[in-house]
């Protein structure tokens, strides 16, 4: 990270602290710290707020999401459970509880994962029940139904029902769900048609990225790269789709210089989002640079990520690997 950029972030944080009492910090200000990659600062402010208001469900939810971004799954589950217990009628709380359970399941033993998977489904179903128009909850629930075996409550018929429910609210998401079902059933031609229908219903770089992701799974790498380039060209906001596209390129080891360019666009000019906090973008940049043979650049990027998200274990492991 260039020195002027680092100074700008520090100045932003100092001004935020001087203008807002940490104990009463508006959640949108704390959320912006997370988006900007300042996970440590966000955690400090949330813990200060919770020390005077331990029953703040919204604060516990946001603290869960900071831990989630740092891939601290146990801490994320703990905070999301508290948020859901304090406000069980919040669709948002149930959605993030399901996500935290799901990620912890992915990183647990088989026996533990079975129990957590059940909890994931219950939380997602509750999120949809509480707010039938919560598209993110329906999307995550659909993904669960598609991927989970029947004895854990999965089933593509259930995902199809979600697509039907979503269709009148957001048609592109309905097409996306149907594409995922077809892909899961190895009907790749049908899946591609559904992804393209989603793009027709919602023209733009996000749906092009969904198509690129499909091409990766289908091992159609030339088409993946072409889709990534098209998505990046249309992405005038420089939003987190740049991060996602760079991640795709790294996964298939294609056009790493383009991946670096996309990440630098996002870090320096982008419209930031919780989907890709800046410390995650710096870490991904480090991965791409390391893969490209630039150990010094990778180390710098990992250190930048670690400086503002000290509990982000992947950056710690990467620095250890490089002998830093």
Q: pTM of the full predicted structure?
A: 0.89
Please check the confidence at residue 11 and state whether its pLDDT lies above 70: no
Burial of 270 (0-12, 13-18, 19+ CB in 10 A): buried
Residues composing the chain:
324
Q: Is 113 helix (H, G, I), strand (E, B) or coil?
A: helix
The model's pLDDT over 72-110, given as tens digits with 9 standing for 90+, comes to 999 999 999 999 999 999 999 999 999 999 999 999 999
Which residues fall within 8 angstroms of residue 197, CB to CB, at 6 or more apart? 175
Domain presence at residue 37? yes
Q: Is residue 234 part of a domain?
A: no
Residue 123 lies in a domain: yes
Q: What are the pLDDT digits (tens) for 307-324?
A: 999 999 999 999 999 998
Residue 292 lies in a domain: no
Q: Please answer whether residues 309 and 279 qualify as being in contact, where contact means their C-beta atoms are separated by less than 8 angstroms.
A: yes
Q: What does pLDDT average to over the chain? A: 92
**Which candidate, 219, 261, 216, 222, places its Cα nearest to that of 238?**
261
Range of the domain at 126: 23-131
Q: Is the pLDDT of residue 33 over 50?
A: yes
What's the CA gap between 122 and 97, in Å, rounded? 10
Residue 23 pLDDT > 50, yes or no? no
Confidence of residue 195 (pLDDT cuts 50, 70, 90): very high
Residue 12 has pLDDT above 70, yes or no: no
Per-residue confidence (pLDDT) for residue 103, from 0 to 100 = 98
Residue 112 scores a pLDDT above 90: yes
The angle at the Cα of 11, spanning 38 to 278, to the nearest 5 degrees, equals: 30
Residue 11 lies in a domain: no
- Of the two residues 11 and 34, the one the predictor is more confident about is 34
Q: What is the mean pLDDT of residues 295-306?
A: 98
Question: How many domains does the chain fold into?
Answer: 1
Q: In this structure, is residue 48 part of a structural domain? A: yes
pLDDT of residue 129: 98
What value, to the nearest 5°, has the Cα angle with vertex 33 and ends 28 and 272? 90
Residue 298 clears pLDDT 70, i.e. is over it: yes
Q: Report pLDDT for 26.
A: 80
Does 25 have pLDDT greater than 60?
no
Q: Does the residue 247 lie in any domain? A: no
Q: What's the whole-number mean pLDDT along residues 111-129?
A: 98
* Average pLDDT value for residue range 112-116: 97
Would you tell me how many other CB atoms lie within 10 Å of the CB of residue 294? 16
The per-residue pLDDT for 5 is 41
Exposed, middle or buried by CB within 10 Å (0-12, 13-18, 19+), for 109?
A: exposed
Quote the percentage of the chain above a pLDDT of 90.
91
Instruction: Answer whether residue 199 is part of any domain.
Output: no
User: For 217-264, what is each residue's pLDDT tens digit?
Assistant: 999 999 999 999 999 999 999 999 999 999 999 999 999 999 999 999
Higher per-residue pLDDT: 19 or 61: 61
Whether residue 146 contacts residue 156, with contact meaning beta carbons closer than 8 Å, is answered with: yes
The two tokens of residue 296 are 């010094």
CATH code of 106's domain: 1.25.40.10
Alpha-carbon 32 to chain mean position: 15
Residue 130 pLDDT greater than 60, yes or no? yes
């Amino acid at each position: 990270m260039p020195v002027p950029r680092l100074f700008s972030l520090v100045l932003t944080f100092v001004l935020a602290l001087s203008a807002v009492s940490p104990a009463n910090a508006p959640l949108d200000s704390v959320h912006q710290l997370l988006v900007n990659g300042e996970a440590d600062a966000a955690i400090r402010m949330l813990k200060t707020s919770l020390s005077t208001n331990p029953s703040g469900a919204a604060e516990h939810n946001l603290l869960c999401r900071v831990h989630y971004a740092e891939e601290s799954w146990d801490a994320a589950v703990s905070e999301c459970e508290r948020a859901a217990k304090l406000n069980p009628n919040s669709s948002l709380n149930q959605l993030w509880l399901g996500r935290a359970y799901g990620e912890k399941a992915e990183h647990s033993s088989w026996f533990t994962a079975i129990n957590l998977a059940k909890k994931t489904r219950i939380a997602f179903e509750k999120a949809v029940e509480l707010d039938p128009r919560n598209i993110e909850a329906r999307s995550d629930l659909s993904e669960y139904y598609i991927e989970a075996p029947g004895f854990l409550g999965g089933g593509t018929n259930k995902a199809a029902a979600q697509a039907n429910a979503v269709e009148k609210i957001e048609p592109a998401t309905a097409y996306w769900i149907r594409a995922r079902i077809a892909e899961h059933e190895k009907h790749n031609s049908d899946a591609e048609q559904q992804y393209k229908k989603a793009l027709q219903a919602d023209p733009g770089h996000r749906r092009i990225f969904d198509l690129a992701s499909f091409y990766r799974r289908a091992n159609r790498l030339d088409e993946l790269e072409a889709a990534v380039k098209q998505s990046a060209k249309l992405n005038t906001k420089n939003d987190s789709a740049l991060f996602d596209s760079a991640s795709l390129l790294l996964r298939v080891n294609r056009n790493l210089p383009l991946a670096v360019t996309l990440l630098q666009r996002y870090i320096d000019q982008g419209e930031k989002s919780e989907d890709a906090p800046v410390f995650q973008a710096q870490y991904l940049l480090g991965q791409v640079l390391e893969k490209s043979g630039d150990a010094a650049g990778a180390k710098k990027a990992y250190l930048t990520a670690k400086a503002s998200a000290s509990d982000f274990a992947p950056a710690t492991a990467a620095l250890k690997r490089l002998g830093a």
